[in-house]
Amino acid sequence: MKQELDTNYVHLELRDGMLVGTYKKGLKINLSIAREIVQSRLAFTNNKKLPALIFNQGVISMDKEARQFLSSADGIKGLKAAAIILDSPFGSFLGNFFLAVNKTSMPVRIFTNAGSASKWLAQFIP
């Protein structure tokens, strides 16, 4: 049985021991939306700590406060690791830049291919 939750900002799914999140198209994330996304994720996973595969193509902007929150202890609560899928080399460049600026205490990597990302995340599934 597939477990899914569709929110205003992200579609969440539990698949093969990991959380799969797909951001909605045209999404502009501010601090309030970032907090709501994390709250929805924690409720959906029942606070279970999981690796996450994140499809980030729908996000068109994210303000500084949202980035800081999402990389904080509160923002990464319930996550073991995250693989972020971006759809362009430029997006990957920007993603890696933001990761360098907003460091987290968990492993995070940027990918352009979901298969490679899932393979990397497999090491975090018990």
Q: CA–CA distance from 90 to each of 66, 94, 121 (Å)?
A: 21, 6, 23
The CATH number covering residue 70 comes to 3.30.750.24
Range of the domain at 7: 3-124
Question: Tens digit of pLDDT for each residue in 55-77?
Answer: 987 888 888 999 889 989 999 99
Query: Stretch 17-26: mean pLDDT, rounded?
Result: 94
Q: What is the pLDDT of residue 14?
A: 96
Residue 20 has what pLDDT? 97
Amino acid at 55: F
Task: Give residue-wise pLDDT tens across range 81-103.
Answer: 999 998 765 565 556 656 665 67
Question: How many independent structural domains does the chain possess?
Answer: 1
pLDDT tens digits for 26-58? Answer: 999 999 999 999 999 999 999 899 999 999 878
Tell me how far the alpha carbon of residue 35 is from its chain's centroid: 13
